[in-house]
């Protein structure tokens, strides 16, 4: 069984201020020695990127943004490009988060079109040397209809078809069931393990080496007290954390759970 280094990613979403960010960053940094065996990355709102870069430079903690444009530059008001992320030392970028999907769905794009846009964003991040964390997960309706694997396979296959499986060797996947996000109702470790294993096996059909190497994170109501059983599953390589990443002590507990599970 290959050992993959765990990764804990804190997605701050649209929360905080420069003063609360400072308190959070200080709280995490002072305890960083306690989770040295895990990779940790923070995803602040982009306006705080410079502050986060200044605080984390020289530490073992990485940072990134919550989205990026599939285009390199041009007339795309409000968007942020991959070269801009490089300008601020981003190692990772979140792609295809369900909250972004919902916004696009509101303007009439269907899920298949969105999967292709996500594949384009993935390609843009990879070209610029930024590691994409691709978020995949089923909605409550799809969950009720037993469509979890169908939804996940559709996006994975499009990403592989558009970019080649080798590109996945420089990527991270995150299984985020929409019904578990922000609801306090995490998937059980067994459910998440089954889905993660399905994802890994889907990749294995194309390339066993990449399948063994790729980190697959779980996201959806992960807290300090449910992180360890999730991370102890063989195909769960860490977490993508929302609400609990806004509290330094809670987030550190999750990072420690990942670190001890290595």
State the catalytic residue, choosing from 97, 138, 143, 250: 97
Nearest alpha-carbon partner for 5 in 176, 242, 213: 213
**Among residue numbers 216 through 255, which ones bind ligand 13P (CB under 6 A)?**
219-222, 240-244
**Among residue numbers 3 through 32, which ones bind ligand 13P (CB under 6 A)?**
11
State the catalytic residue, choosing from 99, 138, 142, 176: 176
Residue 150: active-site member:
no
Residue 176 touches ligand 13P, criterion: CB under 6 A: yes
Q: Which residue is nearest to ligand 13P (CB)?
A: 242
Draw the binding track, 54-93, toward ligand 13P (x: CB under 6 A; -: no contact). ----------------------------------------
Distance CA 249, CA 164 (A): 40
Nearest alpha-carbon partner for 135 in 116, 156, 164, 149: 156
Q: What is the DSSP string of 94-158?
A: EES-HHHHHHHHHTT--HHHHHHHHHHHHHHHHHTTPEEEEEE---HHHHHTT-HHHHHHHHHHH
The smaller minimum CB distance to ligand 13P, of residues 133 and 211, is found at 133
- How crowded is residue 121: how many other Cβ atoms within 10 Å of its Cβ? 24
Cα radius of gyration (the chain): 17
Q: How many residues bind ligand 13P (CB under 6 A)?
A: 14
Q: Which of 182, 188, 201, 225 touches ligand 13P by CB under 6 A? A: 182
Residue 97: active-site member:
yes
Catalytic residues: 97, 176
- Given the rule CB under 6 A, which residues bind ligand 13P? 11, 97, 176, 181-182, 219-222, 240-244
């Amino acid at each position: 069984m290959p050992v993959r280094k765990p990764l804990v990613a804190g997605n701050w979403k649209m929360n905080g201020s420069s003063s609360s960010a400072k308190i959070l960053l200080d709280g995490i940094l002072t305890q960083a020695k306690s989770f040295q065996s895990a990779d940790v990355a923070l995803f602040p709102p982009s306006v705080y990127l410079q502050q986060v870069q200044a605080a984390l430079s020289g530490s073992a903690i990485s940072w990134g943004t919550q989205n990026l444009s599939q285009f390199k530059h041009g007339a795309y008001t409000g968007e942020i490009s991959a070269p801009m992320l490089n300008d601020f030392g981003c190692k990772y970028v979140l792609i295809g988060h369900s909250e972004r999907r919902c916004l696009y769905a509101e303007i009439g794009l269907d899920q298949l079109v969105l999967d292709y846009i996500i594949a384009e964003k993935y390609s843009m991040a990879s070209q610029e040397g930024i590691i994409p964390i691709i978020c995949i997960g089923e909605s409550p309706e799809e969950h009720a209809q037993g469509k979890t694997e169908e939804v996940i396979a559709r996006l994975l296959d499009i990403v592989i078809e558009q970019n080649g499986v080798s590109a996945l060797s420089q990527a991270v996947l995150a299984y985020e069931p929409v019904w578990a996000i922000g609801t306090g109702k995490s998937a059980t470790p067994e459910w998440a393990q089954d889905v993660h294993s399905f994802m890994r096996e889907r990749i294995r059909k194309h390339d066993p080496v990449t399948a063994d190497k790729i980190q697959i994170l779980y996201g959806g109501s992960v807290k300090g007290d449910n992180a360890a059983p999730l991370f102890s599953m063989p195909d769960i390589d860490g977490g993508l954390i929302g609400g609990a990443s806004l509290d330094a002590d809670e987030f550190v507990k999750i990072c420690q759970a990942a670190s001890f599970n290595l």
